[in-house]
Amino acid sequence: MHVDLHPRYADDAAATEASGLISACVHCGFCLATCPTYLDSGDERDSPRGRIYLLKQLLEAGEAGPATRRHLDRCLTCRSCETTCPSGMQYGKLLDIGRGMIETEAPRPFLERAWRRALRLVFSRPALFAMVLRPGQWLRPLLPPALARKIPAPQTVGPRPDRQHARRMLVLEGCVQGAATPATNAAATRLLDSLGISLVAAPRAGCCGAVNYHLGAHQQGLDNMRANIDAWWPEIEAGAEAIVSSATGCGSMIADYGKLLASDPAYADKAERIAQLHKDIAQVIATEGLAKLKLAPDARKIAVHVPCSQQHALGQGTAVTDILQGLGFQLAVTRDDHLCCGSAGTYSILQRERSERLRRNKLAALETDKPALIVTANVGCQLHLGEDSSVPVRHWVEFLDEVAHGGR
Amino acid sequence: MNAPPAFSKQALASALRAILPAECLVEDKESQRPFECDGLSLYRELPLLVALPETVEQVQAIMQCCHRLQVPVVARGSGTGLCAGAMPHPEGVLLGLSKLNAIMEIDPQARTARVQPGVTNLSISEAVAPHGLYYGPDPSSQIACSIGGNVAENSGGVHCLKYGLTVHNLLSVEMITAQGERVELGSSGLDSPGYDLMALVTGSEGLLGVVTAVTVKLLPLPEVARVVMAGFDSVRAAGDAVGAVIAAGIIPAGLEMMDALAVQAAEDFAHAGYPRDAQAVLLCELDGTEQEVDQHIAAVERIFTEGGATTLRVSASDAERALLWKGRKSAFPAVGRMSPDYYCMDGTIPRSQVSHVLEEISRLSTKYQLRCANVFHAGDGNLHPLIMFDGGCAEQVARAEQFGAEILELSVAVGGCITGEHGVGLEKLAQMESQFSIAELHQFEDIKHAFDPALTLNPGKGIPILKRCQEYRALPRKHQHG
């Protein structure tokens, strides 16, 4: 579709890029079929095609109001539509640009702005998030069950091995994951240790930038990315082989560092190198050899929830099932694997009702074959599904580590 | 005829507010914009109001209200149509039926399903698969298009060669008439007394009523289905091979052709393994019992080889078969990878004319200086030339439209017709006069009058309104914009 760019935006790089992206859309509507929010509402405005059209209108009219903002807000950014789109529309990229523009074109009421700012602040700073989480976890036993469910229980982490291998990889501790599910990276470290690789964290690295970037705060998001590059660079120069993430939400952001910082001369090259060095923990384990893990699968039936960031953004939809199947685990039959669970970063907080509906659907789809547990690859999905699931929801790395080492 | 009563947008909006929840009535222009076009975004118009009812009762109440106020109503399903049939009327209500998406009943014994109009074509087949059944007609947009839209356009698809169009796969429909009455057409049996109104309403493009429930016939999943894919180094050779398959007495479940440009686009998206160096690719699906399919596959392989096939592959699994179809079914939008816009034609011609018409299209492509990819249902002669253009260039748009018009007129000239399955809508109105005589068009008008005397249902689409219909011309401009 052609966009008749409004003269106001003639020199605006973001608007020009957005109108270029829209030219890939042919308005066929295939994306409606796999968009969780359209399937939920049946409303064109809550479909990828509808949102593309609203952004086309913004670019052509030179203005937009709260109506457009509301429908952009309702997008999960799961990018299921991109997997479906035959004409190669880069919807996620367009939506991020649109979200940035709409913050200035249709400013939010003060309270909403303050609330989103607070979320960005807390979720993008690991120490701050931990400060908020800890008292909640202490009080958890005293809270009514409905509220207690929302606070993840403290985890037993187990030691990280202190052996130093010649091969080293960097691990992203993440912001939410580091505080809420620290057992994941401890387990990843133990698994890679048994494969002869030291997995280490760079102390000054922080949030990957996704929280800020997807909430339209692009500058803050890019600053998060630059800070991580600065933290990782000396380690990379010292021979670290890869940057490993065990949360696919963060991983899909790191994989985009090169594109997002392409116009920053000071960081473009480094960002591209970081993006190339990024690996999800599943890629590392699959490459290094499953046989070396010497695992004896048990009889439990496992349902795999593949995060959207893993299948639609990273294009690694079968990574975890391949590993588990390769090791001989019994996988449960699931349906609608391509649909989002409703977690989607801060979506579960900002769009609670819809998020809960999507979770109900997802849990029904995962539990249809009566699995003993659900495993996933992203902290957001893990906590969100875990709140309401009738079976335990775990990171697959923790599960594998438990089978291999008894979780120690 | 009396002039319709004047009404204001405000009066209409307040009447509809009493029927619908706030979220289901779209009043402001900013929010209405995404509804201004369907799958053919070349034609755009903002409606007065968009209504998105959640129940049949609401649909009926809206229809009664619009009848009372004499407001035009345009029904819309998923908005994937390719003839601007669901383009809104500037003085009317766009009635979106996508929220009516329940599968109400599956009867595995009778092999039927009763569904609401917003249910997608593919989700019917998915829902009945556990019973070993599927719904036959499979438009390429089946992942997204709605069954209500399929009824309106009498949609076809890859498998229509053997299993028929939408009209052959329905038992009954529930419809709200222009006057707001809820009626059931057809029955649970194969025939009903009186005129066959099912055949009239199927393909009537929203001109005779608004469908609110559909009972579809289901087919048993075949014991075996396999696809033969063959590459050819000329379109003519592939076209002749199609004729040879049919002449051999084989009725494939589907027999499709893509030319070189379409193959490139489809392969870029689906990675199905189509031969990129071929000038034409044929996909031929055979289904039935193991023995029957084996025999037919051998015969088709022989015909293709004798016809000069340069590559030949038979699907070895259902996953491979699905992948081979995925590319074909995504070929229209995949052409969007090569061009910002495309204009999809729907001419249908006798099979014997395929090679001749494709050569003419290639000549027209040079004449109009626009690339054209061809994807089509070769078995039934239903062409889908995809004319590539840039919607940002008015002169190119005009050339694309002329190019398309010439293809349609050529289709009529060789003994074919202007639409095989996409409908006339707004887009092919002009060519209706090449296809039909004035007397025939008057008959169409009389049918329209019998169902919708006030001409409020999807006015201006499907049939060209001739001089006789003064009241239609009087209708639109009387109303006040809000």
pLDDT at A98: 97
Kindly identify which residue of chain A lies nearest to residue B340, measuring between CA atoms.
A23
Q: Which of B39, B52, B330 sits opposite A86 (nearest CB)?
A: B330
Q: Report residue B173: phi and psi, to 5°.
A: -135, 145
pTM to 2 decimals?
Answer: 0.94
Task: Write down the ipTM of this complex.
Answer: 0.93
What is the model's pLDDT at position A147? 84
A294-345 pLDDT per residue, tens = 788 888 999 999 999 999 999 999 999 999 999 999 999 999 999 999 999 9
**Does B244 share its domain with B319?**
yes
pLDDT confidence of residue A175: 87
Mean pLDDT, range A357-362, rounded to an integer: 98
Instruction: Note the CATH architecture for domain A7-107.
Output: Orthogonal Bundle (1.10)
Its CATH architecture, for the domain A292-405, is 3-Layer(aba) Sandwich (3.40)
For chains A and B, what is the number of CB pairs under 8 angstroms?
Answer: 115
Which residue from B34, B98, B390 is facing A2, i.e. has the nearest CB?
B390
Residue B48 within a domain = no
Domain boundary among B185, B220, B255: B220
Beta-bridge partners for B375: B258
For A28, which residue in chain B has the nearest alpha carbon?
B39
Show residues of chain A in contact with B79, CB under 8 Å.
29, 32, 44, 49
- B295 plus B374 within the same structural domain: no
Domain(s) of CATH 1.10.1060.10: residues in chain A:
7-107
Please give chain B's pLDDT, 482 residues, in tens: 444 446 788 999 999 999 999 999 999 999 999 999 999 999 999 999 999 999 999 999 999 999 999 999 999 999 999 999 999 999 999 999 999 999 999 999 999 999 999 999 999 999 999 999 999 999 999 999 999 999 999 999 999 999 999 999 999 999 999 999 999 999 988 888 889 999 999 999 999 999 999 999 999 999 999 999 999 999 999 999 999 999 999 999 999 999 999 999 999 999 999 999 999 999 999 999 999 999 999 999 999 999 999 999 999 999 999 999 999 999 999 999 999 999 999 999 998 898 899 999 999 999 999 999 999 899 889 999 999 999 999 999 999 999 999 999 999 999 999 998 999 999 999 899 889 999 999 999 999 999 999 999 999 999 987 654 444 444 443 333 33
pLDDT for residue B71: 96
Q: B122 — contact with chain A (CB < 8 Å)?
A: yes
Mark whether B208 and B260 lie in a shared domain: no
Domain span(s) for CATH 3.40.50 in chain A: 292-405
Reference A78, options A53, A51, A59, A44; nearest CA is: A51
Q: Which residues of B touch A27 (CB under 8 A)?
A: 37, 39, 41
Counted domains in chain B: 3
The residues pairing with B172 across neighbouring beta strands, listed in sequence order, are B186, B215
Q: Judge: B98–A28 Cβ closer than 8 Å, yes or no.
A: no
pLDDT for A295 equals 84
Q: Are residues B327 and B366 in the same domain?
A: no
**Residue A7 DSSP class:** G
> Which CATH number belongs to the domain containing residue B399 in this structure?
3.30.70.2740
Q: Are residues B114 and B214 in the same domain?
A: yes
Residue B80, chain A, CB below 8 Å: the answer is: yes
Of B296, B314, B332, which marks where a domain is finished? B332
A4 touches chain B (CB under 8 A): yes
Print the domain residue range for B310: 224-332
| B172 lies in the same domain as B256 | no
Beta strands in B218-370 (DSSP E): 219-220, 224-232, 254-259, 280-288, 311-314, 341-344
Residue B331: closest C-alpha in chain A: A86
Whether B120 sits inside 8 A of A1 (CB atoms) is no
Q: Give pLDDT, residue B312.
A: 97
Domain termination site, one of B220, B254, B287: B220
Q: Can you give the CATH number for the domain in which B269 is found?
A: 3.30.70.2190
A1/B143 CB distance under 8 A:
no
Which secondary-structure segment (H or E) carries B104? strand B103-107
Predicted pLDDT of residue A408:
59
Residues B190, B291: one domain?
no
Q: Tokens 């498998």 belong to which residue?
A: B159
- Judged by a CB distance cut-off of 8 A, whether residue B135 touches chain A is no
B97: CB partners within 8 A, 6+ apart:
B53, B59, B75, B76, B77, B116, B117, B118, B146, B148, B210, B212
Structure confidence at residue B1 (pLDDT): 40
**Separation of alpha carbons A155 and A199, rounded Å:** 20
- CA pair distance A27, A49, nearest whole angstrom: 7
Q: Which of B34, B143, B269 comes nearest A53 by C-beta?
A: B34
Hey, what are B253's tokens?
A: 């479940």
* Helix, strand or coil, per DSSP, at residue A132: helix
**What's the confidence (pLDDT) of residue A407?**
61
Q: Is B269 at the interface with chain A, CB within 8 A?
A: yes
Nearest C-alpha in A relative to B76: A44
Q: Residue A334 to residues A5, A301, A304, A344, B29: CA-CA distances in angstroms?
A: 45, 11, 8, 20, 42
CATH at residue B157: 3.30.465.10
